[in-house]
C-alpha cells in the first residue's frame, strides 16, 4: 500500500460524458501527478500540481483538466469523452519540494475508465 | 518523440539466474533514473533509482547501472525469483521540470 488512494476504482461511461477522478496523496506529500496508461502504451505524464498550483504539464488534452485543493487532494476532470480515452489513470504523489529536490513518486492503484 | 525507450517488450529467465532489463534515453538533461515494477491491477511500485552523477546503485538483489556516454541504463536482478514476474518500467526525471518520463515497459517472466 503506497498510501495514495484513488476513487473510483472502475468507471464505465458513454462517449460525450464527463467524469471526475479523485486522488488523495500520501500524508505530507505536496506534489500530485496524473498519468494515463492506454492499452499497449506506457505511462504518459499528464500534469503535476504542487501545493495547489500547476507545476508541469505533459500530453494533456484540452478536454482534460485538473486541480489540487487546499487539503492537497486532486481531481482530474475528463470531458467530452471519446472511445480513445479508455485507459488506466494513475495518480502519484511525492514529497518533492518546490526548489526541485528530487524524491521518488508513489503511485495509487489507478482508476480504470471505460468509455463505451 | 520517445525520450525513454525499453526496446525489449518481454524477457523470460529461469529462477535463480540473472535478469537484465535495459533502457535507453535521449535527453541528456535528465537528473535521475528510476525503475518501477507493476503488477496487473496495481499502480507502479518504486524499486530503485540512480542519480545522473553516479554509475551504479545497489539495493539487495537489485542493481541499476548507468552509462551516461551511451545514454543507457540497466536493471540487474540477481538471483531472479518467480515473484519478480511483473512489468518493469524505466523512467527518467528532470528535476527542474518535475516530469517523469516512462518507457514502454518490459514484461519479465521468471520461471520456476
pLDDT tens-digit series, residues A25-66: 999 898 899 999 987 677 888 999 989 999 888 889 999 999
Pick the residue from chain B with its C-alpha nearest to A94.
Answer: B98
Q: What is the mean pLDDT of residues B71-88?
A: 97
Q: Residues of B near A (CB-CB distance < 8 A)?
A: 31-32, 34, 36, 41-46, 49, 51, 89, 91, 93, 95-105
Strands B10-14 and B106-111: parallel
Task: Name the grid cell of A100.
Answer: 526541485
Integer Cα distance of B34 and A69 in angstroms: 28
pLDDT confidence tier of residue A99, bands split at 50, 70 and 90:
low
How distant is the Cα of B60 from the closest Cα of chain A, in angstroms?
A: 18
Region label for A77, one of left (φ > 0), alpha (ψ between -120 and 50) or beta (otherwise): beta
The per-residue pLDDT for A2 is 85
Q: What is the mean pLDDT of chain A?
A: 90
Instruction: Choose the closest CB to A102 out of B89, B93, B102.
Output: B93
Mean pLDDT of all residues in A54-82: 94
CA atoms within 13 A on the CB side of A34: 32
Distance between terminal CA atoms of chain A? 31
User: Looking at the DSSP assignment, which residues form a beta bridge with residue B11?
Assistant: B108
Res A57: pLDDT: 87
Nearest CA in chain B to A47: B99
Amino acid at each position: 500500500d503506497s498510501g495514495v488512494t484513488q476513487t473510483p476504482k472502475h468507471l464505465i461511461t458513454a462517449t460525450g460524458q464527463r467524469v471526475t477522478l479523485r486522488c488523495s496523496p500520501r500524508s505530507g506529500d505536496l506534489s500530485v501527478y496524473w498519468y494515463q496508461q492506454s492499452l499497449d502504451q506506457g505511462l504518459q505524464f499528464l500534469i503535476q500540481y504542487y501545493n495547489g498550483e500547476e507545476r508541469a504539464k505533459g500530453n494533456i488534452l484540452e478536454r482534460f483538466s485538473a486541480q489540487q485543493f487546499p487539503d492537497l487532494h486532486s481531481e482530474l476532470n475528463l470531458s467530452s469523452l471519446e472511445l480513445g480515452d479508455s485507459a488506466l489513470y494513475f495518480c502519484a504523489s511525492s514529497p518533492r519540494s518546490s526548489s526541485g529536490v528530487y524524491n521518488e513518486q508513489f503511485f495509487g492503484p489507478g482508476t480504470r475508465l471505460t468509455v463505451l | 518523440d520517445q525520450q525513454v525507450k525499453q526496446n525489449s517488450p518481454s524477457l523470460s529467465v529461469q529462477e535463480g539466474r540473472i535478469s537484465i532489463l535495459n533502457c535507453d534515453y535521449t535527453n541528456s538533461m535528465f537528473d535521475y533514473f528510476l525503475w518501477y515494477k507493476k503488477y496487473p491491477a496495481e499502480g507502479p511500485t518504486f524499486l530503485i533509482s540512480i542519480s545522473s552523477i553516479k554509475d551504479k546503485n545497489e539495493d539487495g538483489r537489485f542493481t541499476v547501472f548507468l552509462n551516461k556516454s551511451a545514454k543507457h541504463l540497466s536493471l540487474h536482478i540477481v538471483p531472479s525469483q518467480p515473484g519478480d514476474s511483473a512489468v518493469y518500467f524505466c523512467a527518467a526525471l528532470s528535476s527542474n521540470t518535475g516530469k517523469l518520463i516512462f518507457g514502454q515497459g518490459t514484461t519479465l517472466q521468471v520461471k520456476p
